């Protein structure tokens, strides 16, 4: 067969049944991405004779004799296609994994299609942007700005990798091939709870191409936690690489290593496993009851109460809640539940390992290569110098890649065979084995005086941590932020993280605060109605004020700086925005219109230790190299780090070269999560850049004989009084004396500050079908000093879109045996372009941050108030209170009738 790909002819024969996507990638067209392998996401879109097709569901043989165009053939950095330029300049991407497919689809649009983007973009999904940036790109709206020397902070400069992203040259984790590479696949448990009696490998090893079959007997018997934190003691070491007991449907049973993916998959099918089924428990309340099946039992030294399957329980109180309820004029109590939610980052988990000069190299899609290295060194008894872990660009994370769940197996196989090994998750494996958001059920009881002042605040939180405890304890503590938001002299917080025979829960944007925010903000809305108060007014009367202690679980001192009333300003801005848009028309007859609001508070770094080290060096090429361990996966820290360095060094972003996320080339970095990529790593970059600047200025002052206070940086030199010395001259003089302009600085996640935000919605609900349409969405957020306005807007829009999915469309369905029944994007249903409204983003500029340049990380907090604001708007429209998510049309319809006034669903 003959294929013409991007103008080049290939005489190749695809494998029987091979799809066009994998065939093109075998030819080196790595811009063709895998997001689903089911025609659902559009990340693999290419042109076939000029028409866009999903190459993952197009047989390769159909391209025989036809013209195939991938993103690499659409344009180059020196000659961009207009749509590539528009996506760069909007900007129309964040992580960039979906971007090639978006561009290949959008570049074919007619004017008519541009006017009907909900239909035209229905085959392309994005998990990051919220789609507004994509719409701007398609329409040619320019958002990227240039920055003058020393004026980078505050400008919407473009991402350093923008040209590479829009041309398909940006390397993601799996975008490489190494000669002799083996492929690893995993056999998963069909049982929710079972003991492995025996595993027969013989038939699997007989499959042509199969090299190894690994079981629990072949791996180091070392307990660890897959969760990533600097302090590993905050998570339980309750996991083995492979185990002889399985505790959820989907748990690893064996790993097969083979020459091809197909051979490895066939090997998995041929493994014969004998199981002894054990009793299983799926509900956390049942798991805590006497006589419930024990998941870990006495062998788990980390569980608070292993007999009752309790990983961790918290019991704290401030004041006397009983006295507070006795003093209340109105008491509200309700129970609210939030389901599992999957990250659905379009790049699935994956890692590649190989040996180089006796050292193990691991290239992975991790949010923390530094800690992944620590864990691998522990598991395989390696010295730090025997191991390198690094990331290329990562295709979305949202907390899902704050785990070590692919790196361990490739390391095992490469250390065993000495050969390169690749392991890439399927989309089904993402849904069934990766760590979703913790399902939580919260009972909130509030007491208030007639004027709205809270007298008692009581919360009981039961969190389903699943079969293993990764992140189970930390997310339970994090939920206290929803309680911290309001002043009340009497508070009580009881919480339980419970083991069940379900997929282990993990970190997801909002990290333990999204679920309590839904419960508390819904309860506050119900209390406001019982008091006949406006919901925003009730919040104004009770929100914590600057200078007051942020009290959730204890009254001890903390390291949080809280000196400005950003939350009050957020509430006022949303109140004004909703009033300003009150005349927005409803869809017509049969629709009920309602308004809802909710607020949240979020600390700008986690309370556990967070560390980052940055190195800044002025090179001989007169470009400043900034090396920092933080990973870029769409949160925008790379751009912010470049801006901070350029600003402090008096230059432009074009003169900054970024090196990142490589344990051989960068210092230690806890990781890009909990908004610390900007707040902590940004401070490290700031300090290192300042140190280099000061060293250059001191050298220039000594060289010119001008007092230091008279010296300042400009783009490529130093001005000393009425003299100007070029950087080239200073570098040459310094080199002659053995001096380098370089510095390393560290930053820590303390002290911290607080981000606050308020979300408002106006929605319409169809009284017959239960369909919800968002008529208006607005979020005000305390952004402090904004490093990059376009990025802040994009993060908020993306967070709101993800929150809308959490609240309305995403439904993680599990059957009676503990197995997920809809493990694909089509049936799980993350929001598409048509599902997401444009969100008006209003920024509050406070100065109470201790972040770099007084900025605050914005990537995480914006999701927290979205679901409760939607639920509150739904109640306002229908008079019916829905206390369980997601708010699907069938759930809404089942409770609606013309005669109903107020009831609880």
Across the chain, which has 905 residues, the per-10-residue mean pLDDT values are 93 93 97 97 98 98 96 94 98 98 98 98 98 98 97 98 98 97 98 98 98 98 96 93 98 98 98 98 97 86 81 95 98 98 98 98 98 98 98 97 98 98 98 98 98 98 98 93 93 97 97 97 98 97 89 81 89 97 84 96 88 97 97 96 98 98 98 92 98 98 97 96 97 97 97 94 93 97 95 97 97 96 97 97 90 91 97 96 94 72 50
The CA–CA distances, whole Å, from 289 to 247, 301, 308, 473, 640 equal 18, 20, 6, 20, 49
Written as six digits, the tokens of 826 are 């089509």
> Smallest Cα–Cα separation from 514: which of 66, 862, 212?
862
CB 883 within 8 A of CB 334: yes
CB 598 within 8 A of CB 865: yes
Cα–chain-centroid distance for residue 758? 20
Question: What gap in Å lies between CA 180 and CA 418, rounded to an integer?
Answer: 10
Question: What gap in Å lies between CA 173 and CA 96, rounded to an integer?
Answer: 13
Task: Return the pLDDT at 355.
Answer: 98
Question: What gap in Å lies between CA 669 and CA 680, rounded to an integer?
Answer: 9
Task: Return the pLDDT at 549.
Answer: 82
Helices (H), 453-594: 472-478, 480-484, 514-530, 535-542, 566-580
CB 335 within 8 A of CB 883: yes
Question: What gap in Å lies between CA 361 and CA 373, rounded to an integer?
Answer: 10
Q: Kindly tell me the sign of the dihedral angle through the C-alpha atoms of 531, 485, 852, 682.
A: negative
Written as six digits, the tokens of 236 are 């339980």
Reduced to 3 states (helix: H, G, I; strand: E, B; else coil), residue 781 is strand
Query: Residue for token digits 């303390």?
Result: 750
Question: What gap in Å lies between CA 136 and CA 597, rounded to an integer?
Answer: 27
Question: What gap in Å lies between CA 503 and CA 876, rounded to an integer?
Answer: 35
Degrees, nearest 5: CA angle 657-659-663 = 165
The secondary structure of residue 841, as a DSSP letter, is E
Written as six digits, the tokens of 553 are 């679980």
Task: Return the pLDDT at 606.
Answer: 87
Spatial neighbors of 583 by CB under 8 A, at least 6 apart, are none
Task: Return the pLDDT at 904.
Answer: 53
Run of H or E including 685:
helix 681-704
Dihedrals phi, psi of 314, to nearest 5 degrees = -125, 130
Question: What gap in Å lies between CA 261 and CA 381, rounded to an integer?
Answer: 29
Reduced to 3 states (helix: H, G, I; strand: E, B; else coil), residue 258 is strand
Cross-strand pairs, 617: 625, 742
Cross-strand pairs, 174: none
CB 492 within 8 A of CB 458: yes
Task: Return the pLDDT at 125.
Answer: 98
Written as six digits, the tokens of 130 are 């919220």
Omega into 854 within 30° of 0, i.e. cis? no
Pairing assessment for the beta strands 194-200 and 245-246 based on DSSP bridges: antiparallel
CB 787 within 8 A of CB 838: no
Run of H or E including 826:
helix 825-828
Run of H or E including 698:
helix 681-704
Query: Residue for token digits 């969100």?
Result: 839
Task: Return the pLDDT at 900.
Answer: 52
Task: Return the pLDDT at 899.
Answer: 39
Question: What gap in Å lies between CA 289 and CA 4, rounded to an integer?
Answer: 65
Question: What gap in Å lies between CA 859 and CA 676, rounded to an integer?
Answer: 10
Burial of 315 (0-12, 13-18, 19+ CB in 10 A): exposed
Query: Residue for token digits 């992580």?
Result: 95
> Smallest Cα–Cα separation from 55: which of 26, 33, 71?
33
Q: How many CB atoms lie within 10 A of CB 313?
A: 17
The secondary structure of residue 805, as a DSSP letter, is I
Written as six digits, the tokens of 104 are 């290949």
The order of strands in the sheet holding 656-660 is: 656-660, 624-628, 611-618, 742-748
Task: Return the pLDDT at 898.
Answer: 45
Scored b (16 or more CB within 10 A) or e, 380-389 reads bebeeeebbb
Written as six digits, the tokens of 8 are 């080049």
């Amino acid at each position: 067969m003959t294929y013409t790909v991007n103008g080049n002819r290939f005489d190749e024969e695809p494998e029987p049944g091979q799809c066009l996507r994998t065939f093109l990638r075998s030819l080196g067209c790595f811009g063709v991405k895998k997001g689903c392998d089911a025609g659902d996401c559009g990340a693999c879109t290419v042109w076939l004779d000029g028409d866009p097709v999903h190459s993952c569901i197009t047989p390769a043989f159909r391209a025989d004799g036809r013209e195939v165009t991938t993103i690499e053939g659409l344009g180059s950095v020196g000659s961009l296609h207009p749509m590539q330029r528009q996506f760069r300049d909007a900007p129309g991407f964040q992580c960039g994994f979906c971007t090639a497919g978006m561009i290949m689809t959008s570049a074919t649009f007619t004017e008519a299609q541009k006017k009907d983007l909900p239909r035209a973009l229905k085959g392309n999904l994005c998990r990051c942007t919220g789609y507004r940036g994509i719409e701007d790109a398609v329409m040619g709206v320019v958002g990227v700005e240039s920055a003058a020397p020393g004026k980078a902070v505050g400008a919407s400069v473009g991402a350093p990798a923008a040209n590479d992203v829009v041309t398909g040259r940006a390397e993601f984790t799996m975008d490489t091939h190494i000669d002799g590479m083996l492929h690893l696949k995993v056999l998963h448990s069909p049982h929710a709870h079972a003991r492995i009696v025996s595993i027969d490998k013989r038939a699997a090893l007989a499959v042509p191409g199969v090299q190894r079959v690994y079981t629990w007997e072949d791996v180091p018997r070392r307990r660890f936690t897959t969760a990533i934190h600097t302090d590993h003691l905050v998570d339980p070491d309750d996991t083995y690489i492979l185990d002889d007991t399985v505790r959820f449907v989907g748990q690893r049973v064996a790993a097969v290593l083979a020459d091809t993916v197909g051979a490895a998959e066939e090997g998995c099918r041929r493994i014969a496993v004998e199981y002894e089924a054990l009793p299983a428990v799926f509900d956390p309340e049942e798991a805590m009851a006497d006589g419930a099946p024990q998941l870990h039992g006495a062998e788990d030294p980390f569980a608070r109460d292993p007999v009752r399957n309790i990983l961790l329980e918290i019991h704290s109180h401030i004041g006397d809640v009983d006295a507070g309820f006795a003093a209340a004029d109105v008491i509200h109590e309700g129970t609210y539940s939030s389901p599992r939610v999957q990250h659905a980052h379009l790049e699935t988990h994956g890692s590649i390992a190989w040996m180089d000069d006796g050292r193990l190299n691991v290239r992975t899609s991790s949010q923390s290569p530094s800690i992944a290295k620590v864990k691998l060194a522990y598991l395989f008894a390696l010295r730090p110098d025997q191991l390198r872990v690094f990331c290329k660009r990562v295709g979305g994370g949202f907390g899902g890649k704050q785990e070590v769940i692919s790196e361990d197996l490739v390391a095992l196989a490469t250390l065993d065979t000495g050969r390169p090994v690749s392991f890439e998750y399927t989309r089904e494996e993402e849904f069934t084995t990766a760590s979703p958001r913790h399902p939580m059920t919260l009972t909130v009881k509030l007491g208030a005086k007639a004027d709205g002042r809270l007298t008692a605040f009581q919360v009981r939180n039961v969190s389903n941590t699943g079969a293993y405890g990764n992140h189970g304890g930390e997310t339970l503590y994090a939920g206290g932020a929803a309680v911290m938001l309001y002043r009340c002299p009497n508070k009580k917080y009881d919480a339980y993280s419970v083991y069940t025979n379900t997929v282990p829960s993990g970190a997801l944007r909002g990290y333990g605060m999204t679920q309590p925010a839904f419960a508390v903000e819904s309860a506050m809305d119900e209390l406001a109605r019982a008091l006949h108060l406006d919901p925003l007014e009730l919040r104004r009367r009770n929100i914590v004020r600057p200078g007051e202690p942020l009290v959730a679980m204890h009254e001890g001192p903390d390291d949080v700086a809280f000196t400005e009333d950003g939350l009050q300003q957020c509430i006022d801005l949303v109140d004004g925005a909703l009033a300003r848009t009150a005349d927005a028309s409803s869809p017509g007859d049969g629709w009920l219109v309602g308004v809802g609001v909710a607020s949240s508070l979020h600390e700008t770094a986690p309370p556990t230790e967070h560390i980052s080290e940055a190195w800044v060096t002025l090179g001989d090429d007169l470009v400043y190299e900034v090396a920092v361990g933080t990973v870029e996966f769409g949160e925008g820290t790379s751009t912010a780090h470049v801006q901070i360095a350029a600003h402090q060094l008096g230059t432009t972003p074009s003169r900054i070269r970024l090196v990142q996320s490589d344990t051989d080339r960068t210092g230690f970095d806890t990781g890009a999560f909990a908004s610390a990529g900007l707040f902590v790593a940004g401070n490290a970059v700031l300090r290192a850049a300042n140190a280099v600047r000061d060293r250059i200025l001191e050298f220039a002052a000594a060289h010119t004989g001008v007092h230091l206070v008279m010296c300042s940086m400009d783009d490529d030199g130093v001005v000393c009084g009425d003299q100007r010395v070029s950087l080239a001259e200073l570098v040459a003089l310094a080199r002659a004396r053995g001096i380098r302009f370089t510095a390393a600085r560290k930053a820590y996640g303390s002290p911290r500050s607080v981000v606050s935000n308020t979300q408002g919605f106006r929605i319409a609900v169809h009284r017959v079908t239960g369909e919800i349409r968002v008529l208006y969405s607005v979020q005000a957020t305390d952004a402090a000093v904004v490093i990059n306005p376009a990025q802040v807007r994009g993060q908020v829009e993306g967070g709101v879109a993800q929150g809308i999915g959490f609240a309305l469309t995403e439904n993680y369905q599990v059957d009676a045996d503990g197995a997920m029944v809809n493990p694909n994007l089509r049936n799980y249903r993350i929001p598409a372009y048509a599902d997401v409204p444009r969100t008006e983003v209003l920024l509050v500029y406070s100065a109470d941050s201790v972040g770099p340049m007084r900025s605050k990380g914005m990537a995480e907090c914006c999701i927290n108030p979205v679901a409760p604001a939607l639920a509150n708007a739904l109640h306002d429209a229908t008079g019916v209170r829905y206390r369980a998510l997601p708010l699907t049309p069938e759930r809404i319809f089942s409770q609606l009738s013309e005669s109903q006034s107020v009831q609880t669903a």
